[in-house]
A and B are shown apart, each in its own frame.
Chain A
Amino acid sequence: MAWFKRVTPSIRTTDKRDTPEGLWAKCDSCGAMLHKKQLEDNLFTCPQCAHHFRIAPYKYFSLLFDEGECTEFDQNLRAADPLSFTDTKHYPDRVHDTIEKSGKTEAVRNAYGKCEGADLVVSAMDFGFIGGSMGSVVGEKIARAADRAIQLDAPLLVISQSGGARMMEGAFSLMQMAKTAARLTRLGEKKLPFISLMTDPTMGGISASFAMLGDLNISEPKALIGFAGPRVIRDTIKRDLPEGFQRAEFLLEHGFVDMIVHRKELKQRLAKTLAMMRVEV
């Protein structure tokens, strides 16, 4: 019998919006034509060149949790509009349209369940929701995920996939950097592992807050990870950027991630490592 019952039928495995349409997909990296089934079997990585397609939170949930079973929590948080922000569009309209179009509610989803038999809390970001940007909801959900991990006495895994902070919430978005970092100190106090998985992209206010604070920093191959965007850097220093700049391999080389893990090995590597990080009482 499973330890946790699924309270809500929240993991919609029928949502295919993040996967390439049609039966065949072309690898963005090597151009190989891949059958959808083949792609799915490979957890949306290219069997030829190991390119990792960007995938949505529920796919991470189904690949990390035993039998894909988990309980989603804090699904009811929605973006407010504290600044009545308008650029070319009203912010509430932008949020509303994104929800309508994508079926997603925000740029992060929280769930807990078993990973190789051990409790795990996962917060997974979603680039498909306003570039995965962090506003108040994302900050609050990640903070609550840390609380949930403490409550369950379980490790926390945050999967980053974001362009940075959300401009439409101004300084509130900036404060989420401090908020998430501050709340993670609570997890550290309890000696519960915090694992950061950086996927493509992990930039700006995300990398400069929780994403770089993992007890272990893991990355998917070739993920773009950095503080400033490549275009901003190029415009500032007025010279070309080196090959592979700000890619996962570059960060490994410079000492900012512990390992680059292929998605197919993620669960096993994670579970094995976490088992050794447990504080024996």
Chain B
Amino acid sequence: MATKVVLDFEKPLVELEAKLGEMRHCLRSSSREQAPNEAEALQNEIGTLEKKVEALRQSIYKNLTRWQKVQLARHPERPYTLDYIYMITCDFVELAGDRHFSDDKAIVGGFARIEDRVSGFSQPVMVIGHQKGRDTKSNLYRNFGMAQPEGYRKALRLMKLAEKFRKPIITLIDTPGAFPGIEAEERGQAEAIARNLYEMAKLTVPVICVIIGEGASGGAIGLGVGDRILMAENSWYSVISPESCSSILWRSWNYKEQAAEALQLTAPDLLSQGIIDRIVPEPMGGAHTAPEAMAGTLKGILIEELSALLPLSSEELVNSRIEKFSSMGVWNEEG
């Protein structure tokens, strides 16, 4: 799929691909008039360039820096929660409101069914996630995926509903952070997130959390306490965004690359830290280059994980979830 938005580090590749396109066009339009040996020479050149393009593609996407991955995680064409819901599930019934104050559009959720005709797998689930917008208008509507306390309270209401009806829960995490605003503080942003952490630890149904894009701090972990934590290959998850980290520790916005490196916030980093359980591989170039393929991969993994968790008892689930988070952290103990 040709993408409209080109990131800085993708430019050499896009330029080379454009050149290749021109040569192919040239070959097609002029092959009739040209001498056969000239066409052959052009064909050979195209072959060489194709190899070069492929080599460049490999060298760019296989050696992404942490900051480049952060950029991919924020790619404006990246699939968002509702895209995944429509590609992975059927019969999605969206539910609204926290029953206290309002309906936060930055978090969506509802019942849906995950079905696989081949294996006969069919399971109703509660799926909840942060929702970003695609353009200015939808971003204002979704508040750029930055939830208010109502969003977290809506999520908790839906999780409790799932627990009541014994349905597993899938959360999709993709937020630049919980919204920092006057009203958010008045209505208890901190309390809403804290409550979710506490209640999610106790949920008696399976919970799978997937970081699909940005996992920024408290706003992310507010949906992030589960039995299995998965992370898309080009997503990030940390205690702070590289920009804010740069501004606090370096007292300048210009050290975001260094901050991204220092924070070790990519999927492979978190897997080696034991914080996540599994990486969801993305198509070469990022999830947005082949969203259907990406959704297919994620669906397969979700079915696998659900199948493993569904037989477990409530007690087993809660105990091992608390154990899982209890074991996180690295310290030295003297004497």
Binding site for B on A (CB under 8 A): 76-80, 82-83, 85-88, 135-137, 139-140, 143, 165-167, 169-179, 181-186, 204-205, 207-213, 225-229, 232-233, 236-237, 241-242, 245-246, 250, 254-256
A252 to chain B, nearest CB (A): 12
Interface positions, chain B 174-194, Cβ under 8 Å from A, are 178-182, 184-191, 193-194
Q: What are 25 A-B contacts defined by CB distance under 8 Å? A: A76-B335, A77-B331, A77-B332, A82-B273, A83-B263, A136-B328, A136-B331, A139-B329, A170-B239, A170-B264, A170-B273, A172-B273, A172-B328, A175-B325, A176-B328, A176-B329, A178-B197, A178-B201, A182-B225, A185-B201, A205-B239, A209-B197, A212-B190, A237-B182, A254-B188
- In the complex, how many residues of chain B place their beta carbon closer than 8 angstroms to a beta carbon of chain A? 58
Task: State the 10 A-B residue pairs at the shortest beta-carbon distance, nearest first.
Answer: A228-B180, A136-B329, A181-B197, A207-B190, A182-B201, A87-B249, A227-B189, A82-B330, A227-B190, A212-B194
A281 to chain B, nearest CB (A): 24
Given A174-B218, A179-B326, A181-B225, 16 more contacts at CB 8 Å?
A: A82-B330, A83-B262, A85-B263, A136-B330, A177-B197, A178-B197, A179-B325, A181-B198, A182-B325, A184-B198, A205-B217, A205-B239, A226-B189, A227-B189, A228-B178, A232-B180
Inter-chain contact B322/A228, CB cutoff 8 Å? no
A176 to chain B, nearest CB (A): 6
Which residues of the other chain, B, contact A173 by a CB distance below 8 angstroms?
239
A179 to chain B, nearest CB (A): 5
Which residues of the other chain, B, contact A183 by a CB distance below 8 angstroms?
322, 326
Which residues of the other chain, B, contact A83 by a CB distance below 8 angstroms?
262-264
Q: Complex Cα distance A241/B185, Å?
A: 11
Q: Complex Cα distance A182/B224, Å?
A: 12
Q: Find the A residue at minimum CB distance from B255.
A: A87
Inter-chain contact A88/B250, CB cutoff 8 Å? yes
Q: Complex Cα distance A170/B42, Å?
A: 52
A250 to chain B, nearest CB (A): 8
A-contact bits for B292-335, CB 8 A (1 contact / 0 none): 00000000000000000000000000000110011011111111
Q: Complex Cα distance A137/B270, Å?
A: 19
* Most chain B C-beta atoms within 10 Å of own C-beta, residue among A135, A173, A211, A228: A228
A191 to chain B, nearest CB (A): 15
Q: Complex Cα distance A80/B332, Å?
A: 6
B214 to chain A, nearest CB (A): 13
Main secondary structure of the interface of B (DSSP, over half): helix
Is B245 an interface residue, CB under 8 A from the partner? yes
Inter-chain contact B202/A208, CB cutoff 8 Å? no
B254 to chain A, nearest CB (A): 13
B256 to chain A, nearest CB (A): 12
Which residues of the other chain, A, contact B182 by a CB distance below 8 angstroms?
233, 237, 241-242, 245
- Known contacts A78-B334, A207-B190: A178-B240 contact under CB 8 Å: no
Is B265 an interface residue, CB under 8 A from the partner? yes
* Most chain A C-beta atoms within 10 Å of own C-beta, residue among B187, B237, B329, B334: B329
Which residues of the other chain, B, contact A236 by a CB distance below 8 angstroms?
179-181
Q: Complex Cα distance A233/B179, Å?
A: 9
B182 to chain A, nearest CB (A): 7
Which of the residues B179, B187, B197, B270 comes within 8 Å of A182, measured between beta carbons?
B197
Which residues of the other chain, B, contact A181 by a CB distance below 8 angstroms?
194, 197-198, 201, 225
Which residues of the other chain, A, contact B264 by a CB distance below 8 angstroms?
83, 170-171
Inter-chain contact A87/B250, CB cutoff 8 Å? yes
Which residues of the other chain, A, contact B262 by a CB distance below 8 angstroms?
83, 85-87, 170
Q: Complex Cα distance A204/B182, Å?
A: 15
Is B248 an interface residue, CB under 8 A from the partner? yes
B80 to chain A, nearest CB (A): 22
Inter-chain contact A212/B188, CB cutoff 8 Å? yes
Inter-chain contact B191/A80, CB cutoff 8 Å? no
Inter-chain contact B326/A170, CB cutoff 8 Å? no
A-contact bits for B238-282, CB 8 A (1 contact / 0 none): 111000110011100000001100111100011001010000000
B144 to chain A, nearest CB (A): 11
A47 to chain B, nearest CB (A): 31
A103 to chain B, nearest CB (A): 16
A76 to chain B, nearest CB (A): 4
Q: Find the B residue at minimum CB distance from A196.
A: B194
Which residues of the other chain, A, contact B245 by a CB distance below 8 angstroms?
167
Q: Find the A residue at minimum CB distance from B328.
A: A175
B222 to chain A, nearest CB (A): 8
Which of the residues A79, A171, A250 comes within 8 Å of B275, measured between beta carbons?
A171
